[in-house]
Chains A and B, each alone.
Chain A
Amino acid sequence: MFLDMRNITKTFDALKALDNVSLQVCESEIHGLLGENGAGKSTLMNILAGAFPPTFGEIYLNGKKQENMTTHKANELGIRFIHQELNLVNDLKVYENLFLGEELTGAFGLLNKKQMIKKSAEVFKRMNIDIDPQEKVENLDTSRKQLVEIAKALLFESKLIIMDEPTTALTNKEIENLFVIMRSLKAEGVSIIYISHKMPELFQICDRYTVLRDGKLIESGNFSDIDEKKAAELLVGRSIIEDNKQDQGLVGEVILKVESLSCGAAFTNINFQLRKGEVLAITGLHGDGRGELAEALFGARPVSEGHISVNNKPLSLNSIDKVMKAGIGMVPRNRKERSIIKDMSIMDNMSMAHFIRNKTLLIKKYEAVERYNRNKKAIAIKAGSPDDNITSLSGGNQQKVIIARWLEIDSDIYILDNPTQGIDVGAKFEIYRIIYDLAKKGKSIIVFSAEFPEIYKVADRCLVMYKGQINAELTRDEITEVNVMYYATGSNMEGIR
């Protein structure tokens, strides 16, 4: 047994984040750590990496008890943590980031630039990616940043690598590359703890699993003994009822018309229509201009050309306020950066959009409380008091509060940009149900998503983007994973050149 964490308990104030959790990882093992958001995975890994000490419990490495762990000591012991959030300094070059805090020095303690650049290039070569070590990090897109983050762990001799959702921003090809590296690391005797929400990946790469739920250890075992359904059940602690998209067949008249919309290099010549009661998915791979398009539709990004009309009335895109007034609401991607107002209560977070749409000067507290109660019931938000801080909620419930924020202004069109990002399976299904209900009420919904199962579950129609353009329009019957990938990778463009 290489790593043995025994009976770890961690309390923050009165909150028990971990309750008597044990985790064993063998040498040369890829261990999948599963759990919904808030299950305690990150806390457990932070304790292992020395970010903070456990309240109770012991950690053994190679049978040797480790005490007073610090991040520095963990690094020396060969434990590397690849964080889910990118911890890169944008203003520095790639190689400077890789060696940050562990710079190679030569005579007189001066930096040995040449050596660092050379070593960086070697790592990238090994990972089979072409990133220039001298490139500034801010010039890289998200998937490349994530690869740099991973390279950071490979740069130094390590015995145990913790990967916290390393593939969220990666393309399939990059994920395959990563798996190749992981397998070769494994062959060298390195152990890996792999945290992910993506079941197929876990089953593909991991040997054993440990499931946490609500800070408690649920089960450890071999992946070969379970299937995806069983794993999902362990995760949420109940059987999942899967609703599937019901073909309604009756979508109404056109409500939104987008004509030759362009925005610099991000996307060009976008044309589509949206009907009443329709769920339109827009998908693609990284760098397809999807995110920019979502912002532009909401008036949050200036466009260089084209126009939009809602109910046959032209819509001015230079103010979010006006777009909201025209009946469009948007749940942005990346909840933490773009939706949550972290210093505010759940109730205030929920009321924000309503405040904007109803131009009164004062806040009516009783209305806000009513709003809170109504939504809490309608979309099953698990929360204590309306005055609690929004950050006290789990990711899924935070996202529901944000959705409630927009439900409150009763828009005709909802733009949901990656609405289930980083939330657990249970909450995902609940959000899909909200989408079904909205469509049933005659609302129109545009879902921007890169997750195929999600698109399949909700969409009536699907637009596939490739390099800033709409490459294909798929009807309900044509939405298959193969089709989506075919057009998202631009395979149909081959040979045209």
Chain B
Amino acid sequence: MNIMSPVSSANEVDDLMEAGARELYCGVLSRGWSADYTNIAAPNRREWTVSNLKDLMELKNVIALAHSWKGKVNLVLNALYTRKQYPKLCEFLKEVRPMNPDAVIVADPGLMLLIRQMRWDIPIHASTGCTVFNVRAARFFHQMGATRVIFPRQNTVSEMVDLAGKIDFMEKEAFIFNSGCRNIDGFCTFHHGVNEVLKKDSWKLLKKLGLDFRFLTMLRRLPRSTAIKLTRAVDCMPDSACLLNYKVEFDKGGDDPDTKALKSWLESGFNFFFGLDTCGSCALYKLYHAGIDAVKIVGRENPTDKKLRDIRYIAGMLKYLEEKKPGEEEFKSVCRKEYGRVFGYPCGCWCYYPEVLEGEKL
């Protein structure tokens, strides 16, 4: 099972590979593209400048460095493209092709068709944006030219195990760490990158310094109820629309105790705190034994030290799994202990796949 790590700079590659990544994924947001479309309509779904390589030269360097470690580089092109973007997209693909990336991650069936029309035999990974929740959908994308399916975050582990057993015609990849979006990525049509357009350089600097990540880490050390109260009280205007501090109002009624309690629950679900990084390491046991080929760590925009800690933690757990061959309960227990040791706080309830922790009792 490979660890798929985010990369946002050629300077990170050696460290990421040394830490245990076997595959890297990256996007490119060039000046030429952003002149027409800005960051908000980036050619991939991480619409922040800091998440992306700055140009094709940097991509070339990333590929060369990763290949020198016998690693792979998967180029993310998982936006949804409209008519007028296609000429630019074609031009981009023609420039990228001689650089020999190892795969492209694609969500738009139109782009899959285009790549195959170009007779470019590069492996295509069906992005989480393809929303593959059933075998038939996997077969559809396989017929469109995809060689790997990246399961949506919102498949349960038991569903992925079931799908992995049936999908013997493609590689399979699952999310394992960070950014446990509540909405289904491929069906979510909110925009990211709005704050970068509105606040420009100050926002870029905030992201570059990883201040949002560091604020979330601070929150994580607080009791959950305190952290929620704090993020509701301080409207820090996160970029993601799903994390805004919405005021919740019922269309009808709302005065009875049950409705008030539900309102309070719903409001607690809309705040910056929900952007906390989720962990799915307890699920590695089932995913590994189900034959999942790769696990993805999210967070191209994260600071390098965070990326390295995430890879080392997951690589350590995989090594334990492969070498010690523990039972599942033992593995889950070791995961939780190790998580606390590495990150300095308990994993708490921020699970990618909470049903694994709860033994399917949800």
Q: Do the two shown chains form a genuine complex with each other?
A: no
